[in-house]
């Protein structure tokens, strides 16, 4: 049994706690939250789990092997460092920290103490996201040309981070996963604060990758529609991943091909002598077995700690995501 404690049971914390409790190989030893209301919530739902408002009780408890952190972003670094320094593995909600220097510090102490430091990029464990990864790896889409994503909603507005840091870590982590964690060449961000001064409600982010791949990320909590959609355009096929649709994945056999034409001198290698062929083939909707991503995330964390499995959302992956968010 992996003995786990959780810090924070606010917006996302209950989902993590539910999956910790239902995993038969995990024992939840304690839960901490500063809010009396949230502590009461845990007491009512899980009366057998000790609840506290003092995080130090978790760090000092030698019977606890790992800590799951689901608190506001600004506290992620300090709580992760305290957990690791007390000899406990860490699964911290995204982003791991607010700058690359902090992520590197987390990675360093995790290495020194031979501990797992994992970030909660939950979409890496989404079966639809993994299906697209297989399509890309098998070259079924051809050469990837560009990717664009929309993560939009009307609310929930936060005051601890802007829309970029709230939503974009998901899309960036997915794109990095699909493309095998490349180093971007450049990134441009344009945002605007309409509701709260100094906190952008809408952000457009453009990333240029090697191999002439472009990515565009549009995030907003000031939009009339709830959209969670990503489109990958390849030279052979295109795919749309829609997280809130019944059919999560649609593959389009569409594209534009260059066809050589017979020239005066029968020169088929002359690149200036070609016509364009517009291809619009079948649409394919694959059947994808749905498994709750947080369940798979918790199972992966368990495997990393207990069985030594390579962590796919480790500090190195987290560092690249945070670096992109901070690129100017």
Query: Per residue in 145-163, pLDDT tens?
Result: 999 999 999 988 888 889 9
Mean pLDDT of 97-123: 97
User: How do the domains of the chain map onto residue ranges?
Assistant: 2-122, 124-284
Q: Residue 59 above 70 pLDDT?
A: yes
- What's the CATH fold of domain 2-122? Rossmann fold (3.40.50)
Question: How confident is the model at residue 255, as a pLDDT?
Answer: 78
Section 97-114 average pLDDT = 97
Which residues are within 8 A (CB) of 318 and not within 5 positions of it... i.e. 6 or more apart?
94, 95, 96, 97, 103, 106, 119, 121
* Domain 124-284: assigned CATH number: 3.30.360.10
Given this chain, do its domains 2-122 and 124-284 carry the same CATH topology? Answer: no
Strands 51-52 vs 66-69: parallel, antiparallel or unpaired? unpaired
Closest CA to 80 of 64, 70, 92, 93: 92
More confident residue, 43 or 281: 43
When the pLDDT of each residue in the chain is averaged and rounded to a whole number, the result is 93
Stated pTM of the model:
0.90
The H-assigned helical ranges of the chain are 13-22, 36-45, 56-59, 76-85, 100-112, 127-137, 163-178, 293-307, 315-326
Reported as half-sphere exposure (CB side, CA atoms, 13 A), residue 39 has a value of 12
Confidence of residue 320 (pLDDT cuts 50, 70, 90): very high
pLDDT of 263 reads 55
Q: In which band, very low, low, confident or very high, does the pLDDT at 226 lie, cut at 50, 70 and 90?
A: very high
pLDDT score of 256: 76
pLDDT at 270: 55
Q: Would you state the pLDDT for residue 265?
A: 52
Give which of 96, 93, 89 is closest to 115, Cα–Cα: 89
* 241, two tokens: 């991943």
Mean pLDDT over 210-225 rounds to 97
Residue with tokens 């305290």: 82
Quick one: pLDDT at residue 12? 92
What digits encode the pLDDT tens for the residues 245-300? Answer: 999 999 999 877 765 555 555 555 555 555 666 677 789 999 999 999 999 999 99
Smallest CA-to-CA distance from 104 within 129, 75, 81 is with 81
Is 70 exceeded by the pLDDT of residue 43? yes
Average pLDDT, integer, range 62-80 = 97
């Amino acid at each position: 049994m992996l003995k786990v404690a959780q810090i924070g049971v606010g917006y996302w914390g209950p989902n993590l706690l539910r999956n910790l409790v239902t995993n038969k190989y995990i024992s939840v030893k304690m839960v901490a939250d500063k809010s009396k209301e949230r502590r009461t919530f845990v007491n009512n739902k899980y009366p057998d789990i000790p609840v506290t408002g003092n995080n130090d009780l978790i760090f000092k408890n030698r019977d606890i092997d790992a800590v799951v952190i689901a608190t506001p972003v600004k506290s992620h670094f300090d709580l992760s460092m305290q957990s690791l320094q007390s000899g406990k593995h860490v699964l911290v909600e995204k982003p791991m920290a607010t700058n690359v220097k902090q992520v590197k510090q987390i990675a360093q102490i995790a290495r020194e103490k031979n501990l797992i430091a994992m970030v909660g990029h939950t979409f890496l464990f989404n079966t639809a996201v993994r299906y697209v990864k297989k399509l890309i790896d098998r070259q079924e889409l051809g050469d990837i040309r560009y990717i664009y994503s929309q993560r939009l909603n009307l609310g929930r507005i936060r005051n601890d981070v802007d829309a970029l840091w709230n939503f974009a870590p998901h899309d960036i982590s997915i794109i990095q996963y699909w493309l095998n964690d490349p180093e971007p060449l450049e990134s441009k961000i344009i945002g605007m604060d309409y509701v709260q001064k100094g906190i952008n409600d809408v952000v457009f982010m453009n990333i240029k990758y090697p191999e002439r791949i472009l990515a565009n990320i549009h995030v907003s909590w000031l939009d009339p529609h709830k959209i969670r959609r990503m489109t990958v355009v390849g030279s052979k096929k295109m795919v749309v991943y829609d997280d809130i649709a019944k059919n999560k994945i649609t593959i389009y056999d569409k594209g534009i091909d260059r066809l050589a034409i017979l020239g005066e001198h029968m020169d088929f290698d002359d690149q200036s002598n070609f016509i364009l062929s517009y291809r619009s083939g079948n649409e394919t909707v694959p059947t994808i077995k749905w498994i709750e991503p947080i369940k798979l995330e918790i199972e992966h964390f368990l495997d990393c700690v207990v069985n030594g499995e390579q962590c796919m959302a480790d500090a190195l992956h987290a560092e690249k995501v945070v670096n992109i968010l901070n690129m100017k």
